[in-house]
């Protein structure tokens, strides 16, 4: 049996195979976070509606888009320089930007 522990925000803190020493451990595993959790029959379970889960997915995608934007921002000046002076963009920059987009694709 695996026991898992979650903090006050219901984020995964750790797990153990040994019998836990306090009642803050639950018999549930393989979940990193919860949306509107409920404590039922000694375990935390997902308590969100389908609409709330869809909203959470939209918010997750917004966060991915922002992270992608922030990473791409570092090399945007190459494209401005290309527009202003005509100097080519190094291929490794184009490859790096493509990898960033793939990393955050959803």
Structural domains in the chain (count): 2
pLDDT at position 44 is 61
Domain residue limits at 10: 3-45
Low-confidence residues in the chain, pLDDT < 50: 25-31
Are 55 and 32 part of one and the same domain? no
Taking the model in full, what pTM does it have? 0.56
Are 75 and 92 part of one and the same domain? yes
pLDDT at position 67 is 94
> CA-CA distance, 80 to 87, in Å (whole number)?
10
Are 64 and 95 part of one and the same domain? yes
Are 41 and 55 part of one and the same domain? no
pLDDT at position 73 is 97
pLDDT at position 28 is 44
Are 69 and 90 part of one and the same domain? yes
Are 68 and 29 part of one and the same domain? no
């Amino acid at each position: 049996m695996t026991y898992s522990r979650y903090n006050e925000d219901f984020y995964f803190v750790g797990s153990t195979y040994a019998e836990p020493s306090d009642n803050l451990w639950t018999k549930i595993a393989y979940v990193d976070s919860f949306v509107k959790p409920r404590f039922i029959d000694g375990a935390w379970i997902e308590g969100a509606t389908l609409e709330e889960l869809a909203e959470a997915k939209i918010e997750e995608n917004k966060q991915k888009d922002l992270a992608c934007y922030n990473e791409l921002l570092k090399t945007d000046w190459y494209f401005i320089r290309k527009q202003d002076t005509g100097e080519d963009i190094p291929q490794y920059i184009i490859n790096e930007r493509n990898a960033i987009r793939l990393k955050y694709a959803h």
